[in-house]
Amino acid sequence: MATFDHQNGGMDTFKIADERDGQRMIEEERWVPLDGAANVRDLGGYPVGQGGVVRLREIFRGDSPHRLSPNDVERLRAVGIRTRIDLRREEELNRFGSGHIGEVVAITMHTPLRPTLGGETGEASRSLRQLYQRYLLQCPYELVGALRFLAEPQYRPALFHCYAGKDRTGVLTALLLAALGASDEVIVADYAKTILARDAFIALAGEELRASFGAEDVLRPDSPALAADPETMAGTLDWLRATFGSVQNYLEGAGLSCETIGRLRSDLVVA
């Protein structure tokens, strides 16, 4: 049985109790505490359609693991992560590397998301929605390729990540949870949860960003680049359905077969 409780408007605090097979998972346990990453968390335990929940300890989302400490390596081994999907661009990979994560995973799928960026300005949620629309329009095969990878049981438990674990990772998470039957409310709330890692991410990544980009403004807690407003993901999902009819239509149009979607659901959703 799973319970799903909303607090603080339902956007920043969840409490998920999962008692299947004697397991119990409270929301605070979703996060994997690491010295070198701020936003690694389990997608298990979320409610999906017809009373199911996402299976625990199978799929993790996160920020870049290139700063992992030796203790972090042991923590991720204990979690059981076998593989990862790296959504970073080649220049990010070359600049920051991968650190100790190779001591944890046997296989890495590098599938960079490289949309053509425009120069729109405006409110943060609108600008990020435009960015997410580009990911969806210009990188559909990369996104679907990542989902095919996650559908293969020999590649799980798996971690997928970008640099901050918010934008590229957030779009892939939204597609995965939607494919599994999660509601928009669940998808949006998971996306918004990233704000809880903002200060820790700034502490970890600040010097890198200053050295690489001279980006002082982006390090402010109120920077639009670090925002994870619920409206951003809600608007993205609305746009996706208005454009393609449904998330499943988008996925199938990009080449994800009904069989693969069914395998994701049968493997990753439990009653």
| Ranges of each domain in the chain | 2-270
User: Could you read off the pLDDT of 152-180 as tens digits, one per residue?
Assistant: 999 999 999 999 999 999 999 999 999 99
- Mean pLDDT score, 126-140: 93
**Nearest of 129, 132, 97 to residue 115 by alpha carbon:** 132
Q: How far apart are CA 204 and CA 72, in angstroms?
A: 14
Determine the pLDDT at residue 29: 81
Residue 220 in this model has a pLDDT that exceeds 70: yes
Q: What is the CATH number of domain 2-270?
A: 3.90.190.10
Confidence of residue 224 (pLDDT cuts 50, 70, 90): confident
Q: How far apart are CA 200 and CA 34, in angstroms?
A: 11
For the chain, the DSSP string reads: -EEEEEEGGGTSEEEEEE-GGG----GGGGB---SS-S--EE-TT-B-GGG-EEPTTSEEEES--TT--HHHHHHHHHHT--EEEE---HHHHHHH--GGGGGT-SEEEE----PPP----S-HHHHHHHHHHHHHHH-HHHHHHHHHHHT-GGG-SEEEE-SSSSSHHHHHHHHHHHHHT--HHHHHHHHHGGGGGHHHHHHHHHHHHHHHH---GGGSTT-GGG---HHHHHHHHHHHHHHHSSHHHHHHHTT--HHHHHHHHHHHEE-
- The pTM of this model reads 0.88
Residue 8 in this model has a pLDDT that exceeds 70: no
Task: Work out the widest C-alpha separation in the chain, in whole angstroms.
Answer: 52
What share of the chain has pLDDT > 70, as a percent? 83
Residue 203 in this model has a pLDDT that exceeds 80: yes
